[in-house]
Structure 1
């Protein structure tokens, strides 16, 4: 037990000058919703933090007047979309970070949530709205929205809350990989919410840091850029990378560069050599995914216009996806060979992914294959998404005429969003209500696919209503009870391990 012996009012050190930020805390924010009975009980989800708020700044990057506008918007969306999810973080009675995802985003995550991008670039670019997004890659290699957040501040607790809330909204589906900034708070939050996940640093942020820490050398010595890129992107083994890295530091006298030292220690999160074997949905390691909202959002976008532009950008992206779905179902790419394997992949893959495969197939003819051993029946090669030219060359050598189904990743096919493929309930910890909402979106997508397939001719369009009515009348659910929950595949990592049995050779 401690006993106060005496108390001296005067400070025994110089006081820090008041920060400008401390002067600008809005009084409306301090008093916002102190009388929470006025509306917080109507929130979709309210969470308080675990007591760590005593260590956090009381200031929020989200203006106090924004919450009323956002909650009004969220509640109106819930009326239209039963799968709409939102949550507000409470800290000592005050609203802080906000998260939301509509039914379509939650359904998309069940198909394309295996590799995600946690994009906080708007937050880092002095935008009026501290906006962050969860982005996936769909079966057309387009960005697809998996949830949004407004983040109150830069501390670990805020990022942890956002990541946990996204995880809960997606019924506990664990991604295989995540691309995000290398900020300490973000790294710690990711490690806490997704232990064991492979966190790859954002290429956009790395390039910005390169300009900041190596800009002078990059601008005056083209040789440094060549050696730097060669070390990072062409090293094939850890020993080769270490040797090239040390040679780089010695040649350009950079051993004392603190940033390079830090990046070497974190090399497993950004150097391609160390990222092999992890699925990133085809997002290049030296690039990124194109901006989801493009130029619709800028640094001067105020809140009400933000909501309007958000809706506009979301609809634009989803219309692009619908158009690509239609094109992949109704158009055929030109075949460059007479190989059965090319026809097989044209039939299965979307147009965009088929073109990626087709390039690998054509490039395989430029490689020379040589048999070096007949022992064993398998070889492990990582290709990421579609089979690479090297594996296709092996297929040609051993006369495999089509690709075994285990090497066709379902998420890249025309039917990625459709069909009874797997059991979502066994893959997630979500509530039955959450699962039902996502399955409703699944049924909507199935119906759109059915209608799109029938729109090829006037005769088919005329037949569709009768076919739908007949199917409903013969269904055991024709008594208008709730439709069954449609199981959805949970995409799992597929490595390109070739096992060549006699049954595979045709």
Structure 2
């Protein structure tokens, strides 16, 4: 493992075999590292995207930003999927993120990966991706004569069980009804239910990450830029293009949240409270819950002083695929319990949407309206989704961001690299700015001299790294993805000079 410290903001590290062959590589640019400071609560780790011509897996650490969009928090190429490789990768990623582990992490069911997570992130909440689990239903159950009924029932058990007790009871009933006692796959899933079943994981904040949507969006993030036939050098350039587009999309969403006001759909004061605070995407999610309020009927079940217990009946409709393949609808009534402390306006609902997603549910909103609450406490307006909260990564100057090299950006960037607090004070006046910059300029001279002398030494001691030997990945079928339009273009002869950090990474990847 050979860390390259030439740029303190662009972190990358390589795992090289004794014969000089590249085995694994990890990197995280300055923007990824800064974004993690805001989005370290929940991450997903994905290995299912694609492999390159050396059969190296492209892996990614992914979070969700204040608009609910995918944000990249680091990437890597792996030549193996064993426990040691994952431990190396997780430790490298953790090092790049100032040794701050995530609060929660979503992965697939890979045993080697789970073992590595337990070692490197022992205190993180873990969850398996439901998308990976549910897509295996045909593989493990399609041979059963009542497959259609089983698939429908299993989905109901997974998604409609409100409590752990409900899940356990419904699961046992399903197993007995369809004589599935000997199905090893279902038996294993039930024994690990605390790692994936919504009823068991919904008390933890997951930033609303739907495993299905997030897994699909990770793939969509890079589709059209790279595929299994993309060379390592092409990969670096196309990876840069994908990130540039993602930055532009986030900047556009930030701008819209300030410039475009989404009209309220009710006369409730607390809706205007969320309208003023949240990004447009998150405010629209809140409005979806407000629309759902019309199907909710709250009644007081019990009152002890300022403590209320409400029963909320919700008229629900689900759409599903019948045994004959036709799309059908079904209406039914669900019962929810909402606890309300009138003294401090503390609320909890059995559905746990707020705990899971950070958005108040329609059941709680119906109680707020019934109790004529005009303003909700600030704890229910998460900083996570606010549009006016300054996030460090939006000011980071990165090599794919195309930020103009204006004096303002130069000053702000120089100050932020040294100290955010100093930057805030130094920007207050011309006098303070001059005082800070004089000191930093003197320090920069010393740093430049130090780095120049050490770069000369590194040139004599740096080990030559050659391309990896193609390897066979255990249990992974060849990619069937169509060739992207971008990759069709890069096949044509053309010269493209990669500058800055791209030069550094491409040189190291290609030996």
TM over 0.5: yes
Q: CA deviation at 1:443?
A: 12
Deviations along 1:169-221, whole A, 9 cap, x unmatched? 11122212111111110011111111132211123321343232123349x63
Q: CA deviation at 1:399?
A: 2.4
Q: Which has the higher contact order (CA 8 A, sep 6+)?
A: 2
The answer to whether the 8 Å contact 1:116/1:178 transfers is yes
Q: 1:265 aligns with which of 191, 195, 200?
A: 191
Q: RMSD across aligned C-alpha pairs, in angstroms?
A: 3.2
Q: 1:301 aligns with which of 230, 237, 255?
A: 230
The answer to whether the 8 Å contact 2:70/2:214 transfers is no
Q: Secondary structure at the match of 2:74?
A: strand
Q: Secondary structure at the match of 2:87?
A: helix
Counterpart check, 1:441 vs 2:401: no
Question: Structure 2 unaligned runs (5+)?
Answer: 308-340, 410-425, 442-511
Q: 2:358 aligns with which of 380, 385, 392?
A: 385
Compute the TM-score of the two structures, normalised by the length of structure 1: 0.67
Aligned to 1:9: none
Q: 1:332 aligns with which of 261, 280, 298?
A: 261
Q: Secondary structure at the match of 1:370?
A: strand
Q: CA deviation at 1:102?
A: 0.4
* Distance in 2 of aligned mates of 1:96 and 1:174: 25
Compute the TM-score of the two structures, normalised by the length of structure 2: 0.66
Q: Secondary structure at the match of 1:368?
A: strand
Counterpart check, 1:374 vs 2:304: yes
Aligned to 2:139: 212
Aligned to 1:276: 202
Equivalent residue runs for 1:138-153 within 5 Å: 138-153=65-80
Cα distance change, pair 320–253 in 1 and its aligned pair in 2 (3 A)? same
The answer to whether the 8 Å contact 1:120/1:131 transfers is yes
Deviations along 1:282-302, whole A, 9 cap, x unmatched? 112555341221332222222
Q: Secondary structure at the match of 2:203?
A: coil
Cα distance change, pair 320–443 in 1 and its aligned pair in 2 (3 A)? closer
* Distance in 2 of aligned mates of 1:121 and 1:103: 25
The answer to whether the 8 Å contact 1:110/1:173 transfers is no
Aligned to 2:388: 415
The answer to whether the 8 Å contact 2:14/2:24 transfers is yes
Aligned to 2:4: 44
Deviations along 1:426-462, whole A, 9 cap, x unmatched? xxxxxxxxxxxx79739999x99xx99xxxxxxxxxx
Q: 1:356 aligns with which of 282, 285, 290?
A: 285
Question: Structure 1 unaligned runs (5+)?
Answer: 1-39, 46-74, 420-437, 453-468, 484-506
The answer to whether the 8 Å contact 2:62/2:70 transfers is yes
* Distance in 1 of aligned mates of 2:253 and 2:362: 26
Cα distance change, pair 482–404 in 1 and its aligned pair in 2 (3 A)? farther
- Greater fraction of residues in strand: 2
Cα distance change, pair 128–157 in 1 and its aligned pair in 2 (3 A)? closer
Cα distance change, pair 181–267 in 1 and its aligned pair in 2 (3 A)? same
Aligned to 1:317: 246
* Distance in 2 of aligned mates of 1:344 and 1:308: 44
Q: CA deviation at 1:412?
A: 0.6
* Distance in 2 of aligned mates of 1:342 and 1:474: 44
Equivalent residue runs for 1:84-233 within 5 Å: 84-90=10-16, 92=18, 94=20, 95-122=22-49, 128-217=55-144, 221-233=147-159
Deviations along 1:312-366, whole A, 9 cap, x unmatched? 1111111100111111111111221222211111111001001001121232243
